[in-house]
């Protein structure tokens, strides 16, 4: 079983978000869902801020989570955890 990956990997970078397809100039996040099936390893995606929050939490409490910078805080707290 592979763990969830959800973290900020770059700030101030230009890239194409793999979820919304927009060219982003800003924060880049890495996202990989938890692996539930042994022989299927989910792909790691490069996402923009909007997409990582939506992908992680759906629409539930998303504005508050963004305001609290939840994912950015987690990135700092768990940066050495794999
Ligand atoms: Zn996006």
Residue 10 lies in a domain: yes
Q: What is the tens place of the pLDDT at every residue in 23-77?
A: 999 999 999 988 888 788 889 999 999 999 999 999 889 999 999 999 999 998 7
Distance CA 42, CA 30 (A): 12
Residue 6, Cβ density class (10 Å: 0-12 exposed, 13-18 middle, ≥19 buried): buried
Is 64 inside any structural domain?
yes
Residue 21 has pLDDT above 80, yes or no: yes
Q: How confident is the model at residue 3 (pLDDT cuts 50, 70, 90)?
A: confident
Question: Is residue 54 included in any domain, yes or no?
Answer: yes
26-40 pLDDT, tens digit per residue, is: 999 999 988 888 788
The alpha carbon of 55 and the centre of ligand 1 are apart by a number of angstroms equal to 10
Q: State yes or no: pLDDT of 18 exceeds 50.
A: yes
Say if 82 falls within a structural domain: no
pLDDT value at 10 more than 80 = yes
Q: Tell me how far the alpha carbon of residue 48 lies from the centroid of ligand 1, in angstroms.
A: 4
Res. 82: pLDDT tops 60: no
- Expressed in angstroms and rounded, the spacing between residue 51 Cα and the centre of ligand 1 is 4
Q: How far is CA 75 from CA 1, 21, 22, 30, in A?
A: 21, 24, 23, 10
Range of the structural domain that residue 66 is part of:
5-77
32: in domain: yes
6 CA → ligand 1 middle, Å: 14
CATH of the domain at 13: 3.30.1740
Determine, yes or no, domain membership for 43.
yes
């Amino acid at each position: 079983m592979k763990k969830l990956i959800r973290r900020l990997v770059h700030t101030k970078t230009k890239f194409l978000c793999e979820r919304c397809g927009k060219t982003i100039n800003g924060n880049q996040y890495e996202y990989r869902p938890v692996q539930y099936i042994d022989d299927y390893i989910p792909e790691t995606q490069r996402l923009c801020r909007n997409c990582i929050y939506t992908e992680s939490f759906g629409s539930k409490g998303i504005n508050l989570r963004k305001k609290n910078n939840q994912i950015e805080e987690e990135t700092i707290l768990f940066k050495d955890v794999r």
